[in-house]
Amino acid sequence: MAQTLSGQPALTRLSDDEALFRDSVYEFADNEVRPLSREMDEHAKMPRELIDKLFELGIMGIEVPESHAGAGASFFHSVLAVEALSRVDPSIAVLVDVQNTLVINAILRWGSESVKHRYLPKLASSVVGAYCLSEAGSGSDAFALTTRGVERGDTYVLTGRKLWITNANEADLFIVFANVNPEAGYRGITAFLVERGTPGFTIGKKEDKLGIRASSTCELLFEDCDVPASAVLGEVGKGYKVAIETLNEGRIGIGAQMVGLAQGAFNHTVKYVKERKQFGKTIADFQGVQFQLARMAIEVETARLLVYNAARLRDAGLPFLQEAAMCKIVSSEVAERVTSMAVNLFGGYGFVKDYPVEKLYRDAKIGQIYEGTSNMQLMTIAKGLLG
């Protein structure tokens, strides 16, 4: 069996059942999402009816145990679902990704039995979740949080502002990170479960974005927002651990999003070059175009294998920190290069909205920014290599 640089086994093959699952999600995306993709992009909104269909398909609670109304499947299945959806629309994919790899993952690992019993069935059947860490001055420096949680009897009062929160418009449950003891630094950070409609909590400005426009990205405002002590996820002062360990897994999900996006752009390009004629023959007949397609295919498959390997390691309970960082940085860079080449090969048509590669090109850029910038991934990899 092949090994990665860290010495871990490379576990990348799909079983027949896994391939069938991935293809079934893609079929759903092709039939239900693709007809709406351009409209969702233009209006920067996804219809609730489509979100309900995602719940009906069973991919909004993939790792939730069957005892809590979920699919009872693996993290790897979440990755496959995100990849398949991203081939059609990365905005829909990131909704599913945040739900599974961040929100549900955090509750499965850190939630008490009462928390799991209360929230997991809802997350698997109807409730969208959001993960609320970033702030104006807390991006790559994730723990420079200014949002505060002040203990008052059996409640905590949250005050502060979060930015760039994915799923904010659609979510009814939010995992919010606040510092309950600033003097202790990151050891005061605590994760809270906050429900939409809680007094003192409002959804603020929605960002007007370059790409993944149908995915809502909003600010959150907390003004003397009272939440019960039972809303703490994990332990008081352990929020930094919740955040770090969850984001390590979330990066694999973003890797899957970028792989699916790149695959979608590649598929469109192969179809187009077989149809477009110049100088009396299709442009696919030109060796220069063939070589470009070959390089695109190599890059997409390379990124896919890195993503699959990281997800397999995670499910096997093996170390995967470096592999997650590697798959995230490689897949995001591949997505940008492949979509850029797709636009080039489409020529003038690639620069207009009538063809899907223009949208995928815009969607690709975020991959190098959210859930850890490329520079942060390089730091993680380098630290691992140097011990």
Contacts of 60 (CB under 8 A, 6+ apart): 54, 96, 99, 100, 123, 124, 125, 128
Gyration radius of the chain over CA positions: 21
* Phi, psi of 222, rounded to the nearest 5 degrees: -120, 115
Taking the CA atoms of 66, 306, 366 and 147 in sequence, report the sign of the dihedral they define: positive
Output the pLDDT for position 322: 96
Determine the Cα–Cα distance for residues 162 and 177; give it in Å rounded to an integer. 9
Note whether 71 and 55 are within 8 A (CB).
no
CB atoms < 10 A from the CB of 138, how many? 17
Low-confidence ranges of the chain (pLDDT < 70): 1-12
Cα 292 from Cα 265, distance rounded (Å): 13
Q: Which domains does the chain show, CATH number per domain?
A: 16-128 (1.10.540.10), 131-237 (2.40.110.10), 240-386 (1.20.140.10)
* CA dist., res. 18 & res. 216, Å (int): 30
The continuous run of DSSP H or E covering 141 comes out as none
- Of 170, 145, 154, 177, the C-alpha closest to 226 is 154
Helices 34-43 and 357-364 sit at what angle, rounded to 10 degrees?
60
Q: What is the number of H-type helices and E-type strands within the chain?
A: 12, 10
- CA dist 78 to 73, 83, 102, 143, 193, Å? 8, 9, 11, 27, 22
Active site annotation includes 371: yes
Given a contact cutoff of 8 angstroms between Cβ atoms, the answer to whether 60 and 99 are in contact is yes
Identify the pLDDT of residue 5. 45
Q: Which of 83, 323, 336, 371 is catalytic?
A: 371
CA distance 129 to 100: 9
Contacts of 150 (CB under 8 A, 6+ apart): 156, 157, 159, 180
Q: Whole-angstrom Cα distance, residue 212 to residue 216? A: 8
Residue 25 confidence (pLDDT): 98
So what's the pLDDT on residue 139? 79
Q: What is the pTM of this model?
A: 0.95
What is the predicted pLDDT for the residue at 12?
64
Task: Return the pLDDT at 143.
Answer: 78
Q: What is the spatial distance between Cα 142 and Cα 135, in angstroms, rounded to a whole number?
A: 8
Here the tokens at position 220 are 């959150």
Query: Widest CA span of the chain, in angstroms?
Result: 80
Give pLDDT, residue 11.
55
